[in-house]
Structure 1
């Protein structure tokens, strides 16, 4: 068990959809996550770098470079890092089996958990009909998504000024759209069936920015979520169990605890003032 100031230890951590190169990337929260969580193996499950946005406009602040350096530092310290590219960083699919600074690139992979279960690890865009068959439509959808994320940034800037923690308005809104919910269900079914076809007990993916651990027709479906909206990851413990980590919720709970701890002191000060006035 980790001490209060030490990172939580995992056998494996799975993250996806950081979208480095995008103004919407929550690098502040991801760097905090990396600082306070450690693992023997890290899977980067696609869309870590957002090549689509970088082609349109170069955006690479120091915080994005800090993420890359932090991951490379973990590799130098002995962690295994496997990069499974997605559609936004598909340029890396040209280098399967290559190593860059200790980071191993794989088109997809099969991960065996500590309790012997096999999970197919892939980004998942291969099963997104829009990405596969209508690339122009995919780009148009990406621009619309940028607009929703921009609104989310403004929304959370106001929340911070009012003293409230991060909350994803865009993620909440997406789940209220019937067509989006239907698409998520079809995506989950396709990925689960592909894992079963390949003889795996489960699948670990990203792509749709909707974190979830569930079971579909006897196949475990695990989506790592993203670090643009929900700020989520999946951790494998040393007994093989999988945990969905909602980092925004962790920070929100810590914020609430801090407020609660301040209240007794504030009341005590008020009591002293009333006593002095009497």
Structure 2
């Protein structure tokens, strides 16, 4: 029977990457019971497909509690995990694996075992998982990239998006989202979050607000989005779903669809397509359970 412990053995057997050993060590920990109870005010989310990315399990600022609440309430045919699900870079620097992080991993296995199609498209922070591309990792499909067909037949390229770094390596985005600058933003975000809880305000990302107002970062994000769309167009797709830059978005541009899932460090967002073919970008708040950020009807 497949289990996280079995996954740990496979990681050690199949990869020589030292970062993968940190994930293997986390998966090999004793099983922690998963809390399957949604919050009292929660409403169920019925969808055809859900995309989430950049969870960064193993990183102290991961909002695993919000994500568990979301996973306990989704009913969908397919769940895409669009990269950086586990932060092997952070685990290598400092091993951090709280019970909630482990419960998120178990929840993915549980959903897949119960019949939900779960497709894992690894990113740069969980790159060793790309060794398993084209295979089943227990009940979970692993793919370097994937093609998704919407309810009305649009073909979307599903990729994490780190391949676009070639276009922005020397930009402000590298400095802002890079290790030291990003950790400073998250430090600010952490203390801002504590303050807003004291005054009873809903969650919002101060780090995201700062990032979106730095001129160089805004230009670099625009470059990333432009190149992601260009890659989709070059390969004959009708659009792209990606992550990587922790900047959620959903729009049509030049006849192509651009969707970025966001993340579960700052934004706490998920992309959803319902059975009528409407795509929405949702934001979690511990005060207002779910807010609809943007909506895009299939056209």
* Structure-2-length-normalised TM-score: 0.78
1:162 aligns with 2:199: yes
1: CA distance, partners of 2:67 / 2:211: 22
Please name the residue that 2:133 is paired with. Answer: 96
Could you tell me which residue of structure 2 aligns to residue 208 of structure 1? Answer: 245
Residues 125 and 131 of structure 1 are in contact (CA less than 8 Å); yes or no, is this contact kept in structure 2?
Answer: no
Q: Report the counterpart of residue 236 of structure 1 in structure 2.
A: 273
Partner of 2:60, secondary structure, is coil
- Alignment partners' CA distance in 1, 2:266 and 2:126: 19
Partners of 2:164 and 2:227 within 8 A in 1: yes
Checking the alignment, whether the CA contact within 8 Å between 2:168 and 2:220 is kept in structure 1 is no
Rounded Cα–Cα distance in structure 2 between residues aligned with 1:15 and 1:125: 16
Structure 2: segments with no counterpart, 5+ residues: 1-40, 291-299
Aligned ranges for residues 109-148 of structure 1 at < 5 Å?
109-129=146-166, 141-148=178-185
Q: 1:181 aligns with which of 196, 209, 218?
A: 218
Matched, 1:171 2:208: yes
Give me the whole-angstrom Cα distance separating, in 2, the residues matched to 1:177 and 1:229: 16
The structure whose Rg is larger is 1
Structure 1 equivalent of residue 59 of structure 2: 22
**Residues 70-81 of structure 1 correspond to what in structure 2 (within 5 A)?**
70-81=107-118
Q: 1: CA distance between counterparts of 2:211 and 2:128?
A: 28
Kept after mapping to 1: 8 A contact 2:168/2:223: no
Q: For 1:59-78, list aligned pairs within 5 A.
A: 59-78=96-115
Runs of 4+ in 1 over 6 A off after TM superposition: 130-134, 137-140
Contact 2:167 2:224 in 1 (8 A): no
Cα shift at 1:80: 0.5
Give the TM-score of the pair, scaled to structure 1: 0.84
Say which structure is richer in helix: 1
